[in-house]
Amino acid sequence: MPQKILDPSQIESLDHSAIPRIRLPERATVFATRAARLNQLAATSPIGGYVRLMSTLVYAQHQLLAGFAAKGPSRDAIEHAQQHSMPVIPALSPDRDPAWRDILYRLLDKVEAAGAVTPTLGKVLDALRLKSPAELDAQADAVLAHRYGEINPATAPFIMAALQLVWTELASRLDSRDIPYLGTPGVCPVCGALPVASIVRVGGQYQGYRYLQCGLCANEWHVVRTKCSNCDSTKGIAYHGIEGGNEALKAESCDECHTYRKIGYQEKDFEFEPLADDLASLTLDLLMNEAGYQRSGPNPLLWPELPSDV
């Protein structure tokens, strides 16, 4: 039977209640799957050594998540978020669970025990351990708010990894029916953080639908494929790849906001993992920058060195 191609107006008119809007992280596998993918991609990545280090860090996240429980939102907080179209567990909440700092120390210990830390990086991580709780919280605020000039790119991935573990744990226990619809495009309805990349999934109820994956809590939410995932525009969308490279990975650019975000197609590579594949494909970032486009947001495990006024 021939397939019917829908135009953008037809897609918009579909009953979206039939499309799974939210795909919450699977607690038992989210970090293990990501770590395995990072380890696989390290062999061909231009920053293979760094990708392998991040694979070790992400596997440590998997190990610690099994025995960790964060303080979740109250029923009143969930209802308040729904009434005001706000994220359920906002990333920049002033009452962040202080347990994240203990998770940070435990992650550092596991990465060092795995023998993945060079002497130079070891000194950086030791300095991180010596920071006061207030200093660590200030660093966490800067990371979550993308205040690049206040962030040490060498320590930011470890801080982010601890925060990811806390928010992913929280997201994994939510009911998708409690997640509000937000009026702001391009941010996670669970925590308000930016997506790292998008994925067109295959199989079952997700077949053929595009989901953005949150860089903090790993929640995925549906966005139609005809829109820019950053500014919601339907104009000037284009796709870019590397000749001879992975056909499953493209950079989706928008001429309205002049940004790009990577997108992967599971039908071409079932093991595609948004954060991992984004991190390992630095060459595509360089080509997009040369073409005049900027990333919609950083990879949570790779932070740029930029002045504070950027």
Interatomic CA distance for residues 129 and 123, integer angstroms: 10
| Alpha helices (H) in 6-46, listed in sequence order | 8-12, 30-41
> In 3-state terms, what secondary structure has residue 225?
coil
Interatomic CA distance for residues 117 and 129, integer angstroms: 15
User: CB atoms < 10 A from the CB of 208, how many?
Assistant: 13
154-168 pLDDT, tens digit each: 999 999 999 999 999
pLDDT of residue 185: 78
Confidence of residue 186 (pLDDT cuts 50, 70, 90): confident
Position 111 in a domain: yes
Fill in the DSSP letter of residue 218.
-
Position 235 in a domain: yes
277-290 pLDDT, tens digit each: 999 999 999 999 99
Total domains in the chain come to 2
Instruction: Indicate if 67 and 102 belong to the same structural domain.
Output: yes
Instruction: Indicate if 213 and 165 belong to the same structural domain.
Output: no
> In terms of C-beta density within 10 A (0-12 exposed, 13-18 middle, 19 or more buried), how is residue 275 classed?
buried
pLDDT of residue 6: 44
pLDDT higher than threshold 50 for residue 59: yes
pLDDT higher than threshold 80 for residue 254: yes
The Cβ-side half-sphere exposure at 257, using a 13 Å CA radius, reads 19
Confidence of residue 308 (pLDDT cuts 50, 70, 90): very low
pLDDT of residue 292: 96
pLDDT higher than threshold 70 for residue 181: yes
Instruction: Indicate if 142 and 243 belong to the same structural domain.
Output: no
Mean pLDDT of the residues in the chain: 92
Interatomic CA distance for residues 275 and 25, integer angstroms: 13
| Amino acid at residue number 77 | A
Position 13 in a domain: no
Q: Which of 53-57, 115-119, 304-308 has the lowest mean pLDDT?
A: 304-308
Instruction: Indicate if 139 and 193 belong to the same structural domain.
Output: no
Position 181 in a domain: no
Per-residue CA distances from 73 to 76, 89, 145, 192 (Å): 8, 7, 21, 15
Instruction: Indicate if 216 and 98 belong to the same structural domain.
Output: no
pLDDT of residue 121: 95
18-33 pLDDT, tens digit each: 789 999 999 999 999 9
Among residues 47, 303, 282, 310, which one has the least CA distance to residue 152?
303
Of 104, 137, 172, which residue is a domain's last? Answer: 172
Q: Which residue has the tokens 């795909």?
A: 23
214-228 pLDDT, tens digit each: 999 999 999 999 899
Position 102 in a domain: yes
Position 239 in a domain: yes
Of 105, 140, 172, which residue is a domain's last? Answer: 172
Instruction: Indicate if 162 and 33 belong to the same structural domain.
Output: yes
Average the pLDDT over 184-195 and give the result. Answer: 93
pLDDT higher than threshold 90 for residue 307: no
Domain extent at residue 69: 26-172
| Alpha helices (H) in the chain, listed in sequence order | 8-12, 30-41, 48-65, 75-83, 99-113, 119-129, 133-145, 156-172, 274-280, 282-290
pLDDT higher than threshold 80 for residue 127: yes
Instruction: Indicate if 99 and 41 belong to the same structural domain.
Output: yes
Instruction: Indicate if 125 and 202 belong to the same structural domain.
Output: no
Instruction: Indicate if 162 and 31 belong to the same structural domain.
Output: yes
Among residues 182, 162, 159, 191, which one has the least CA distance to residue 72?
191
pLDDT of residue 1: 40
Instruction: Indicate if 88 and 149 belong to the same structural domain.
Output: yes
Per-residue CA distances from 44 to 38, 94, 273 (Å): 10, 41, 16
Q: What percent of the chain has pLDDT over 70?
A: 93
Average the pLDDT over 266-277 and give the result. Answer: 97
Position 74 in a domain: yes
Instruction: Indicate if 167 and 195 belong to the same structural domain.
Output: no
What residues have CB less than 8 Å from 22, skipping those under 6 apart? 176, 179, 189, 190, 219, 220, 221, 222
Per-residue CA distances from 220 to 28, 139, 274, 295 (Å): 16, 26, 10, 19
pLDDT higher than threshold 80 for residue 9: no
Position 250 in a domain: yes
pLDDT higher than threshold 70 for residue 306: no
Among residues 260, 273, 276, 256, which one has the least CA distance to residue 211?
273
Per-residue CA distances from 195 to 106, 205, 229, 278 (Å): 26, 22, 9, 11
Q: What is the CATH number of the domain that holds 284?
A: 3.90.1670.10
| Amino acid at residue number 34 | R
Interatomic CA distance for residues 92 and 191, integer angstroms: 8
Of 172, 204, 219, which residue is a domain's last? Answer: 172
Structure tokens at 138: 């200030």
Q: Strand pairing partners for 253?
A: 238, 260
pLDDT higher than threshold 80 for residue 75: yes
Average the pLDDT over 262-275 and give the result. Answer: 97
Instruction: Indicate if 217 and 138 belong to the same structural domain.
Output: no
pLDDT higher than threshold 80 for residue 14: no
